[in-house]
């Protein structure tokens, strides 16, 4: 399968400006250990970026902002360990990389560092069909995982929009969410155990004794969301569900976003959790569905009695809404992973990005209004819109999209947009991120977002990675983010 590539390509000439690769001593150590590695300039340029819009803008301008010194491609946990020991001996930073589909710059390997390409850890190692769990190496991509478990009659149910571009390790490292997560859960709900390689070179299995425990704090969750700053995840066990036998779809329109949000809240608070429950504002409804109102798309799957009961709750909670053609849900399904629209926008000098935050239901109206107003207050902004993408008993995720056409360098506008939107969301009780993570882009907001608990995270980093070997700057830990 060919995976979509980032929507901008470096010109061939970039290789002429490549700085010197990794120190000879590191290269020879990798060679002696027999671990595949490359200092090819084009490869290094590619591994110096991910899908972070600033990386894409750099590539568009033919600028390689960061040149990792070497791309190392281990094929096993043992080779990951050996690479980390070599890096530690030589004091070279290590950036774990999966599909490099992250949109916050977390997988951008710093200049001179090791880009640790984990996509060679690509095996599904065990499928326990009695317990309903699958054990998988970190570099396995979404379609390969699903194909394997589907053959056993199961699904993991984790379908991010970047399904084809991203790996299990990246999902876990970023606390990702699939588009069906209302039914199946976010990745932190699906994971049961991990194998992690620490900066010391220790290979540590965490959490491998069943579904729940009361054996101290949850160490699996310490590494989930750690974005490559605390350890390298090489293997994980995830739960699976039987493949769904039945599906139903509903499309509705509300006169206002607030009325749609009230309906979403009532649905989940009545304990109905349709796999998909997405509400779009007027701008996105018009753009995606050509409907001049706020569209709610609902899809549920699973055993027929559960699905019917869920849809019955949806119908009773939305009795006042206009029923649309349910085929609109199919239209969304068909286009949901299509990212081809991005490239022409970037080529036209338009900065586009998305900001996803979560908050309790009680603050979401105020938060949404204020964040949209803050983005629209910036002169280059052309459009700012929002949809609700994941709903919980106590709150939901709001997913903002903004686009602007700045003059010249896009960075000042990009930074200003993130500054106003993030400070506004945090001030109104929202979280820093719901599922894209923090990376480099949001690192500057971590002290505000976590308050005093950021000191706890820093202390943990200090113990597990005292020399800042792993991903310096990401999550606001151990270095300048960008």
Ligand X SMILES: Cc1cc2nc3c(=O)[nH]c(=O)nc-3n(C[C@H](O)[C@H](O)[C@H](O)COP(=O)(O)OP(=O)(O)OC[C@H]3O[C@@H](n4cnc5c(N)ncnc54)[C@H](O)[C@@H]3O)c2cc1C
State the residues that interact with ligand X by CB under 6 A. Answer: 50-51, 95-103, 106-107, 118, 138, 160-162, 165-167, 169-171, 173-174, 176-177, 227-228, 232-233, 339, 435-437, 439, 471, 474
Residue matched to tokens 């490239």: 343
CB of 244 to ligand X, least distance (A): 19
State the Cα–Cα distance between residues 143 and 163, nearest whole angstrom. Answer: 7
Query: Which is closer to ligand X, CB of 227 or CB of 301?
Result: 227
Query: Which is closer to ligand X, CB of 67 or CB of 254?
Result: 67
Q: Residue with CB nearest ligand X?
A: 170
Query: Which is closer to ligand X, CB of 115 or CB of 370?
Result: 115
- CB distance 130 to 242 below 8 Å: no
- State both tokens at 125: 């190692």
Using alpha carbons only, give the angle 327, 333, 338 rounded to the nearest 5 degrees.
135
State the Cα–Cα distance between residues 444 and 435, nearest whole angstrom. Answer: 17
Query: Which is closer to ligand X, CB of 146 or CB of 370?
Result: 146
CB of 464 to ligand X, least distance (A): 12
Find, among 248, 246, 252, 244, the residue nearest to 328 by Cα.
Answer: 252
State the Cα–Cα distance between residues 460 and 62, nearest whole angstrom. Answer: 38
State the Cα–Cα distance between residues 141 and 164, nearest whole angstrom. Answer: 7
DSSP 256: S
- State both tokens at 97: 């990389």
What stretches of 37-167 show up as alpha helix (H) in DSSP? 41-46, 53-60, 77-90, 142-151
CB of 403 to ligand X, least distance (A): 15
CB of 362 to ligand X, least distance (A): 25
CB of 48 to ligand X, least distance (A): 12
CB of 477 to ligand X, least distance (A): 11
Query: Which is closer to ligand X, CB of 188 or CB of 326?
Result: 188
Query: Which is closer to ligand X, CB of 159 or CB of 257?
Result: 159
Query: Which is closer to ligand X, CB of 51 or CB of 445?
Result: 51
Residue matched to tokens 């997560």: 181
CB of 335 to ligand X, least distance (A): 12
State the Cα–Cα distance between residues 292 and 277, nearest whole angstrom. Answer: 19
CB of 191 to ligand X, least distance (A): 12
User: Phi and psi dihedrals of 354, rounded to 5?
Assistant: -125, 150
Query: Which is closer to ligand X, CB of 95 or CB of 288?
Result: 95
- CB distance 350 to 382 below 8 Å: yes
Give the DSSP letter string of 262-301: HHHHHHHHTT---SEEEEE-HHHHHHHH--SSEEEEEEEE
């Amino acid at each position: 399968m060919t995976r979509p590539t980032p929507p901008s390509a470096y010109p061939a000439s970039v290789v002429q400006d490549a700085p010197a690769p990794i120190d000879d001593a590191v290269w020879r150590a990798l060679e002696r250990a027999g671990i595949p590695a490359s200092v090819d300039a084009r490869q290094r340029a590619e591994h110096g970026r991910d899908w972070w819009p600033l990386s894409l803008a750099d590539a568009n301008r033919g600028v390689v902002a960061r040149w990792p010194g070497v791309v190392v491609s281990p094929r096993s946990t043992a080779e990951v360990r050996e690479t980390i020991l070599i890096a530690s001996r030589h004091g070279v930073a290590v950036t774990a990389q999966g599909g490099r589909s992250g949109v916050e710059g977390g997988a951008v390997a710093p200049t001179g560092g090791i880009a640790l390409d984990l996509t060679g850890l690509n095996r599904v190692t065990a499928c326990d069909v009695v317990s309903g769990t699958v054990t998988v190496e970190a570099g396995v991509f979404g379609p390969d995982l699903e194909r394997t478990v589907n053959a056993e009659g199961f699904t993991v149910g984790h379908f991010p929009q970047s399904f084809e571009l991203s790996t299990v390790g990246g999902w876990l490292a970023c606390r990702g969410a699939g588009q069906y997560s209302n039914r199946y859960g976010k990745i932190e709900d699906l994971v049961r155990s991990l194998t992690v390689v620490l900066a010391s070179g220790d290979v540590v299995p965490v959490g491998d004794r069943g579904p729940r425990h009361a054996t101290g704090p949850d160490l699996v969750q310490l590494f989930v969301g750690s974005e490559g700053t605390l350890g390298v995840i090489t293997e994980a066990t995830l739960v699976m569900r039987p493949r769904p036998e039945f599906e139903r779809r509903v499309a509705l329109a509300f006169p206002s976003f607030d009325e749609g949000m009230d309906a979403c809240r009532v649905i989940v608070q009545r304990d109905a959790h349709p796999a998909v429950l997405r509400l779009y504002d007027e701008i996105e409804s018009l753009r995606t569905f050509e409907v001049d109102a706020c569209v709610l798309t609902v899809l549920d799957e699973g055993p027929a009695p559960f699905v019917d009961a869920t849809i019955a709750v949806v119908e009773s909670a939305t009795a006042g809404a206009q029923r649309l053609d349910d085929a609109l849900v199919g239209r969304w399904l068909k286009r949901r992973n299509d990212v081809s629209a991005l490239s022409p926008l970037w080529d036209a000098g338009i900065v586009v990005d998305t900001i996803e935050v979560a908050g309790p239901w009680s603050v979401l109206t105020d938060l949404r209004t204020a964040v949209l107003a803050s983005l629209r207050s910036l002169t280059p902004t052309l459009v700012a819109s929002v949809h609700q993408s994941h709903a919980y008993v106590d709150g939901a995720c709001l997913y903002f999209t903004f686009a602007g056409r700045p003059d010249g360098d896009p960075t000042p506008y990009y930074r200003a947009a993130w500054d106003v939107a993030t400070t506004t969301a945090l001030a109104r009780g929202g979280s820093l991120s719901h599922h894209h993570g923090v990376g480099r882009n949001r690192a500057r907001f971590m002290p505000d977002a976590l308050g005093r608990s950021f000191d706890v995270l820093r202390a943990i980093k200090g113990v597990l990675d005292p020399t800042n070997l792993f991903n310096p700057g990401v999550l606001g830990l151990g270095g300048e983010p960008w």
